[in-house]
Chains A and B, each alone.
Chain A
Amino acid sequence: MKGPAIEIVGLGHKYNDILVLHDVDLSIDRGEIFGFLGHNGAGKTTTVNILTTLIRPTLGRALVNGHDVATERRLVTADIGYLPSEVRMYPHMTATENLTFFAELSGVEKAKHAVAETLEYLDCSDLADRRVGSFSTGMRQRIGIAQAIVHRPSVLFLDEPTAGLDPSGIRQLRRTILDLNRDLGMTVFMNTHQLSEVSRVCTTIGVLSRGELIYKDSMEATTRRFPDETSLEDIYVQMEGSPA
């Protein structure tokens, strides 16, 4: 496939006449790990909802792998994985049953085999036959990632993936994201508040403020551009104060 993994042009969205996303232009190359930063209500989740075809944009257009999210829903969803901020699955079903369901929904042939392979890849085969209702937040997160990648998508959307995780869970998630990017070549689009995660994992960052994209550059260029700041948090605060 050629062209960027994600391309957003003049994207806007209104909820009950309130503009929550305004004229966003963004392009993310294949194989990037993109960190999407912004305060609560900035419009990050709305952007992910649009990119995962859950809602239609009010203005502009968004392409994933060259396919329009509004008009080519089936083509877009065939090649994306999505992990929402709070992972809940069917609690009375086992991890394998849940994952098989999602694999079959994505049209995976030999779904059970794909599930076993994914669980092994994520090093959580021990959870396969346990009911999800008995899982801790960290275990649920791992199974959540498994459902997002069981059909081997090329683009993975993670919405606040570290929410509710303890430090070891966060470390494990970080490792997983890097592995998925390296081993499977997945492009990762990650909404987050965890600035430390962004600096350790992401290759590119974007900052959304009040529905507008105020900054986008590579992690390397960002740290070069703000050499005096001691942490990404300072950079973020500075960006919010002075749009680029």
Chain B
Amino acid sequence: MITTVTSQQLLSLRRQRVFLAALSMFVAMTAAAGVLGWSSHNTIVRVYDEAVKLLAADGQPTPPNPFLLKPELSLLSNMVVYVPLLGALLALLLGHLSLTDDESTGLGRLIFSRRVSRTGYAVGKIAAAAIALSVIVLVAMAVSVVSLMVVNQRIPPISVLGRLGLFYSMSWLYLMLFALVGMAAALLNRRRSLALLSAMGAWLVITFAIPQFTSALRPTSSLNPIADPVGSSQRFFQITALARPISIAEQYKAASGQILSTAAPEPGWQTALRVVPLMVFVGLLVAAVVILVRRHDFSRSGNGE
């Protein structure tokens, strides 16, 4: 029964234009990150080659190629921005669409007049979202690998592929969080538009409001935009600093910086610790969606819009 719900949901998503449009946009942005990386790399290398020629003609020593000093994956640093912005919105939409069809059209009544357990239904829907996001993330990863191959003109080494895999696995978990937020919002609001608006509200809070509160408000952060600004003696900032570990968006960016080697290195356990709150929140949201589905009055479905 779970597989029936999952496969129906996947088929449904495949046919929904809104979802396909959002997916295309995400993949396009991933490809654009690669193209931009390749373009800037190409320009800088050409300038470097010209400079090397001039310096050699003058008999002066040549500096090393700047790209040899940069980590290979720094080319994809834009992805750390695209995932929380575009990717999270896409995941929200996916979660929203997963339940609103059944809720707002009255299909929930038909489904639950069948031999369907509510837990099984919820698990089926969550599994469908997980599979859909896996496909999206795998496509994005494939585009990233191609970008790296084009720029570096070689197949990325295993270590780089491993890091890339780790980054996209964490991104998948991050996107799952928003898919679950979209589902929870759909169960809490009968009106389709209100469900989407409240899910977007949650996205705004997680992506912008909480990081602003926990880090960006600090006077030093605008001058020194690092993950953990220097300590402050002011009580307000001491309190906000305590909340920083649960600022999921910040922790995601900081952990991504470590995985892609674009941030100052930190011990591996510290990076692993950054992912823990994300895992806890995803776990809590899975439980919340299951409980909400179990308690939801599907006899009133179809009265929304």
Find A106's partner among B109, B112, B114, B298 (CB 8 Å cutoff): B114
Interfacial chain B residues near A89, Cβ < 8 Å: 107, 110
Q: How far is the CA of A186 from the CA of B295 in the complex (A)?
A: 32
Question: Binding site of B, secondary structure by majority: helix, strand, loop or mixed?
Answer: helix
Q: Are A55 and B297 in contact, with the CB atoms below 8 A? A: yes
- Interface status of A9 (Cβ within 8 A of chain B): no
Q: Are A55 and B299 in contact, with the CB atoms below 8 A? A: yes
CB proximity of B13 to chain A, nearest CB, Å: 10
- Interface status of A189 (Cβ within 8 A of chain B): no
- Interface status of A141 (Cβ within 8 A of chain B): no
Q: Are B106 and A54 in contact, with the CB atoms below 8 A? A: no
- Interface status of A204 (Cβ within 8 A of chain B): no
Interface centre among B5, B112, B117 (most CB of A within 10 A): B112
- Interface status of B12 (Cβ within 8 A of chain A): yes
Q: How far is the CA of A102 from the CA of B11 in the complex (A)?
A: 14
- Interface status of A90 (Cβ within 8 A of chain B): yes
Which residue from chain B places its CB closest to the CB of A104 in the assembled complex?
Answer: B4
Q: Are A84 and B115 in contact, with the CB atoms below 8 A? A: no
Q: How far is the CA of A74 from the CA of B106 in the complex (A)?
A: 21
- Residue tally, chain A, CB below 8 Å to B: 26
Q: Are B106 and A86 in contact, with the CB atoms below 8 A? A: yes
Q: Which B residues from 3 to 26 make CB contacts under 8 A with A?
A: 4-5, 8, 11-12, 15-16
Interfacial chain A residues near B105, Cβ < 8 Å: 88
Q: How far is the CA of A52 from the CA of B112 in the complex (A)?
A: 8
- Interface status of B45 (Cβ within 8 A of chain A): no
- Interface status of A236 (Cβ within 8 A of chain B): no
Residues of B within 8 A of A (CB): 1, 4-5, 8, 11-12, 15-16, 101, 105-107, 109-117, 297-299, 302
Residues of A within 8 A of B (CB): 49, 52-55, 74, 77-78, 80, 82, 84, 86, 88-90, 92-93, 97, 101-102, 104-107, 147, 157
> What are 26 sample pairs from A and B whose C-beta atoms fall under 8 A apart?
A49-B299, A52-B109, A53-B112, A53-B113, A54-B109, A54-B112, A54-B113, A54-B298, A77-B113, A78-B115, A80-B113, A86-B106, A88-B106, A90-B107, A92-B12, A92-B16, A93-B12, A101-B4, A102-B114, A104-B1, A104-B4, A105-B5, A105-B115, A106-B115, A107-B115, A157-B113
